[in-house]
Structure 1
Amino acid sequence: MAKYLVMVQGTQTDYEAMRGKATPGSPAWNEQDLQAMYAYMGAINDDLSETGELVDGQGLAEPARIRTVTLGEDGKAVITDGPYSETKELMAGYWVLECASLDRVTEIAARVTRCPQPEGAPVYPVVIRPILDGAGDIC
């Protein structure tokens, strides 16, 4: 068994569309759209819990609520709020899964890609990253 991080992506404008505000490239979501998405993702979480493959999974707050901390030239922390709508896709949610194989995780990711959403909403890839086992298997 190995652990994997499975990530879904989104932008600030996607979050705004989910609040009912149509944006360039994304139609406004209504309550039925949101409920369909939540039910679909909830069913995935329930199934993964039943199989024992779910370690953790969370949706993340919109990008406008991000705080970025970098190291300034003077060695002090530089704190920036954002990024905002001009930012490309960021992680919108994730699962940490413990599965028997990469093929199994790929099956789960393929299921995630079929999450219902309004016609015309942007489609993003689901990204799978193996989690290192602590032995430092970087190479």
Structure 2
Amino acid sequence: MKYLVMVQGSQADYDAMGGKPSAHSPAWSEKDLQAMFAFMQEINDDLAESGELVDGQGLAEPRRTRLVSLGEDGRPVITDGPYGETKELLAGYWVLDCASLERVTEIAARVARCPQPEGAPEYPVVIRPIMDSGTDIC
């Protein structure tokens, strides 16, 4: 079965990774960033080797986000991010093809152990099954 495994973050987290601390997150050093990138690359390599990796990407910072909705007249309304009401956003994801929910949960637990500086916020790793054409919605 395929699963979407998601990691979350905020604009403040991206700023901290760029060396700008906030009340939300301490500044990341170059060593911190390299440890995170090496950790994620090892996970990606292991998932590719096992054949479970379908796709995985880190996403650009929230301030580069764009929302497109429809106005009352049916015309597109475009809003650039980040959004004040949004505390956490999708920071990266994997699409995995795993034999069981237990297996993808093991992988998510590994992702949750990603190194980061002390005091950085911790977010849950989110798992969502991907519906196929034969999956019930409810």
TM category (shorter chain) comes to: over 0.9
1:9-28 deviation line (CA, Å, top 9, x unaligned): 00000000000010112000
What is the match of residue 88 of structure 1?
Answer: 87
Other structure's SS at 2:3 match: strand
Paired with 2:135 and 2:76, the residues of 1 have a C-alpha distance of 28
Mark the runs of 5 or more structure 2 residues left unpaired by the alignment: none
Correspondences of 1:1-139 after superposition (within 5 Å): 2-84=1-83, 87-139=86-138
User: TM-score if structure 1 supplies the norm length?
Assistant: 0.96
Mark the runs of 5 or more structure 1 residues left unpaired by the alignment: none
CA contact (8 A) 1:113 1:125 kept: yes
Q: How far apart are 1:52 and its partner, in Å?
A: 0.1
Q: How many residues align?
A: 138
Paired with 1:38 and 1:108, the residues of 2 have a C-alpha distance of 17
Task: State the 4+ residue runs in structure 1 displaced beyond 3 angstroms.
Answer: none
In percent, how many aligned pairs have the same letter?
76
Paired with 2:95 and 2:20, the residues of 1 have a C-alpha distance of 31
CA contact (8 A) 1:55 1:98 kept: yes
Q: How far apart are 1:83 and its partner, in Å?
A: 1.9
**Larger mean Cα displacement after TM superposition, 62-71 or 85-94:** 85-94
Q: How far apart are 1:81 and its partner, in Å?
A: 0.4
Q: How far apart are 1:6 and its partner, in Å?
A: 0.1
Distance 1:76 1:69, change over 3 A: same
Paired with 1:22 and 1:38, the residues of 2 have a C-alpha distance of 19
Letter in 1 for 2:27: A
Distance 1:89 1:110, change over 3 A: same
CA contact (8 A) 1:3 1:130 kept: yes
Q: How far apart are 1:86 and its partner, in Å?
A: 5.7
